[in-house]
A and B are shown apart, each in its own frame.
Chain A
Amino acid sequence: MLELTSSYVDSLAPNAAAIKNGQGLVKKKSFVELNRSENGELLFGQCSGSGKSNYVCSVDFVVPEKPVARCTCPSRQFPCKHALGLMYAYCEGLEFQIAPVPEDILSKREKVEKREETKAKQAEEGSEPKPKKVNKSALKKKITAQLEGLDVLEKLILSLIRGGLATIDSKTIKTINEHVKQMGNYYLPGAQNELRRFALLLSRGQDHEESYTYAVEQLTRLHAFIKKGRTYLTAKQEDPELARDHESTIEEWLGHAWQLAELKEVGLVTEGAELLQLAFYSYDDAARQEYVDLGYWLEQATGDIHRTVQYRPYKAAKHLREDDSFFEVAQLPLLYRYPGQMNVRVRYDEMLPRAVTGADLAAVSANAQRSYAEALKKAKNELKNPLGEKNPVLLLHAARLGQTEGGQYTLTDESGQHLVLENIPSLPQGTTELLPYLAPEWQEDIAVLVMLEHLSDQGRLVAQPLTVINDAGITRLLY
């Protein structure tokens, strides 16, 4: 018998509105027929909609970790509200008549099976899909264009610096924005984003003093990017294999979108990994013109804090699934890692959830770093790299939470070293104001996930607490 919880159905939904609409269909009794197959693997039914005929929808659990939703409605959201509604109806215990599996579902299942079979056969025969052939002359041309683009970018940047930020007016911003467009032609989407970020900082107006500080930082970052990018591209141009650098993040900065197959090829995969999400949030990145969903996860075997990133371009945001907080342990047959040093980006395409156990919580605590001196040294190393992660996330063990008379919150390690906790500008939501609400057992001998930020105008490195973990559970302060 199929077991479904509404929170699991929630997690399948592409966005919050779909959840509401799906539940709404059940509430309004729009389903005119609710059926399930004899063995319970298939839910199907009919739902009345605005059209004259009913929508026929089904959810197939024949492969439990990959439920397949099908519907005759024209929605581009997937699963659509009808399929979600069907599952909510099941969760709520509505009566589902037992009926034979419809013809078309059977034939669709068959097709999937066949596809799997051929895949398995191929794997058996060892005939892995052949690596894609790289068109070397085209790649060379692309590199030449990228180098040319870096020159154009540098020329613009240097002329801006010679004239001074104070002389930048709306006309200059227009020129910068024209360059933003050009960067696309030079195959430099990474440069495009960073230059747009610079233009946004200056066109935001109002508080010039603050935006100048960020603008100067952005200029030096662009400088470092141009220098490193040029060195890397020149070297790559001369390399007969034209291989990508899979250790640093430079390829991503230049705008390369790594494909899972490429990551696998260079060995950036782990088999049978288990991840536990410790924090999640979402923000609007105006420079990328995308919404970004960020999850921070602990890989239990290595103790690394990884990052899942989902970009949802403004133009396609309506049709993409919004990521959400994930409360179970993700068991992954294959975990793909992106190049990088700290909080590397990871991806997976198959996942089976399982409930969090006491052992998982103990593992969190065991993986928390106990010496702040060491942890911060590593973090600062990352921070000082101009193209490195500016908001490293660490899992720290805290002997206790504290507060100074002036009201500053602190984290203290076993050797007595303190770390100041503060809300950082990079996060959309404050969390420190929640600290006093924590019960005493959440204030001592705990693991805390923090995000760091260097406040350059004050010369201070501060941390915002994201999540507190003890043996009893996980208290998410952010999301």
Chain B
Amino acid sequence: MSTALLQELNQELRRLYIAGSDLAAGDFRLKRLLPQFQQLGERSPVFKRLGEGISSLVEQAEEQGTASAVKLQDLALLLGSILYTQGSTVPLAEPGKLASRPILLKTNLSYRKLAEVQQALSTTGSGRYEIVKDAYEQGVFQDLRLLPAAIAALRDPYSELAEFARDAILPAYGKPITAFLLEGFDPSGGKSESRKLHVIERVSGAEQMDFICQAAENGSDEVRTTAIRLLAGYAGYEAALLNFSMEKKKPIREAAFRALAASETVQAADRLYEAFSGKDIELAASALSESERLDARIVRDFAADLEKTPEVKGDKKREESLRTRLNHYQLAVVGKYSEGLTEIYSSILQQHSLYTSLGWIELVDWAANYIGSLNTLEGLTLIQQVEEKNHRYLPHAFQLAFRLWSPAVLYEQYAEPLANQLDATPDKGTKQREQKLLQVIEDLVIQRSYQTYDAVWRPSSSRYYAISSLEPVSPEEIADCWDTRWLRWSLEKNKPELVSAFARPGESLIQKYLLRKLNNNPEFRNKYASLLLMGLERVGAELDVRQEALMAALEDKRNNNCYVLDIYVFDLLCGLPSSFLPRLEAVLPTYRYEAGEQLSYVIRTLSQRGEQ
């Protein structure tokens, strides 16, 4: 049977469907096909019927109403049925053996388990990460049918998901996964390909280093930099790394420096030192910060360069270049400790006026931070000398003194002289000093946190909710580390948040003070109102006093745009007796958003408790 001819007729009929069957009458293309069908029709009844169909379609008179459409439908139906029996099942070439790479995975999970994950990995939208993570934890990815989806996840537009695939899902398949990653690897690709390299290195290590080295040489910048970083620590590839460190492209050199920093050899160290001495100083500095190889040399040069400072003073250009260089030294040694460094930083503090006059304040800051973190009395003396000249370093000195001195000495050294000075002639400097002191104390006794809570007032689908909050350190810590006189001092300074933190039972004056403050500042929008309530608890105020204070604050007209209530406040609300219900219900309308939800929840719980 002539399938080609049938297909040709099929195309012509399709054309008529699109153009409209009214145009079929006298259609010359159909007419041209007709003789062949008639000829074949002499032998085959099927072709005969098709021929008849064609001729009745083209030979009809125009303007016959729906007849053309009916004829077209009849003919197409017949042709369609014939074509369905002609479908070819023959492959294009003789098949050979299946190129197989067996992997031992099962296929015993059900549709509902698989489809959810497949959908999560093939669509976009929220909630996908949780589905995939849950599935991974339940071992769902050990089903063969998720393997293609797992590999494809490296391309996921949501990078956290792609990284989860890189760090967890794919490595879990172990070495066999390498073959599948190699097969589809495209060196000219982007992030997804570089993630493949990560997985390959992780599961196959040294075995695949030749391949990774190739990728480091030929590939997109993304692939090359990743591959170069992965070569770190493989001795056989150091020569290649040294070459890469000479490349023209900056990202390539950067990657090479980082990889070399992990090496143990003299050549690698020399190359890094060379780079650090030349125009690649910035790249080399950040690479060196992760390694200790060159520390001795760097510190030596650091000290030497530092000594040049007085020389260059006055020459703007040289000043600037030395400053940049010193910054890079700092970058290379950040987070490291050595005797040499202690000497360098001590000398900076001793000569702080020189550096301050040059405007190199960041250098003094580093020195103060470094020396402060050593926790030594010598260090404290040094910083205090600087502090006397510059209030900027009061926090450094105070924090260090807090760690080294007894609470009483700390109070006497810091609170009393200040009070005396203030009594005498409060000038601008003394005021500033006081501000700094209050700030550093607050930083030490009040913790800011951003925590996720199980938000019971929410529907179960979105229960976890992050709230930022302020909370004083524990009363025990206050008692251990702080002199009792700080409470009076804070009261005199009129700092209610510090008073709340230092508050201790038995001070009725303090209780009155806090209640008055709460009355003046009842807004839950800023966190101080809840801090005051915590202070009341510390001072030992009776529960009913605190509950009444809380309720009064809630009822205050100034509390009209609170977004969310602190967990402390929320817990306190939940503990209210049900007699508060009418008052709570009355204020509910003024609270919206999360706070509204929280209040409704409180009202619900209270009323349920009331009924039981």
Contact = CB atoms under 8 A, between A and B. Distances in A.
Contacts of A216: 13-14, 17, 76
A409 interface: yes
A439 B76 CA distance: 46
Nearest to B612: A52
Nearest to A13: B112
Contact of A401 (B87, B98, B108): B98
Nearest to A437: B103
Contact of A459 (B13, B87, B99): B87
Contacts, number: 204
B314 interface: no
Contact of B17 (A165, A419, A440): A165
Given A224-B77, A405-B96, A459 B112 contact: no
A132 B16 CA distance: 50
Interface string A318-340: 00001011010000000000000
B313 to A, nearest CB: 69
Nearest to A323: B111
Contacts of B17: 161, 164-165, 212, 215-216, 219
B96 A163 contact: no
Chain B facing A: main interface SS: helix
Contact of A162 (B22, B101, B103): B22
B362 to A, nearest CB: 52
Contacts of A224: 77
B296 interface: no
Contacts of A167: 20
B83 A404 contact: no
A476 interface: yes
B83 A459 contact: yes
B85 A443 contact: no
Given A404-B95, A460-B88, A479 B114 contact: yes
**Looking at chain A's contact residues, is the secondary structure mostly helix, strand, loop, or mixed?**
mixed
A228 to B, nearest CB: 11
Interface string B81-122: 111111111111111111111111101111111111010000
Q: How big is chain B's contact interface, by range? A: 35 or more
Contact of B148 (A164, A280, A434): A434
B102 A438 contact: yes
Interface stretch (A116-124, A235-243, A378-386): A378-386
Interface string A433-447: 111111110010000
Contacts of A372: 89
A158 B73 CA distance: 9
Contacts of B90: 418, 420
A479 to B, nearest CB: 4
B98 to A, nearest CB: 5
Given A213-B14, A410-B95, A420-B91, 16 more contacts: A157-B69, A157-B73, A158-B69, A159-B66, A164-B17, A166-B19, A223-B74, A223-B77, A282-B111, A322-B112, A372-B89, A384-B81, A404-B96, A434-B145, A456-B10, A459-B3
Interface of B: 3, 7, 10, 13-14, 16-23, 66, 68-70, 72-74, 76-77, 80-105, 107-116, 118, 144-145, 147-148, 608, 611-612
16 contacts: A10-B112, A52-B611, A161-B17, A164-B16, A164-B23, A167-B20, A384-B85, A386-B77, A404-B92, A412-B95, A437-B101, A437-B102, A454-B87, A456-B10, A461-B88, A479-B111
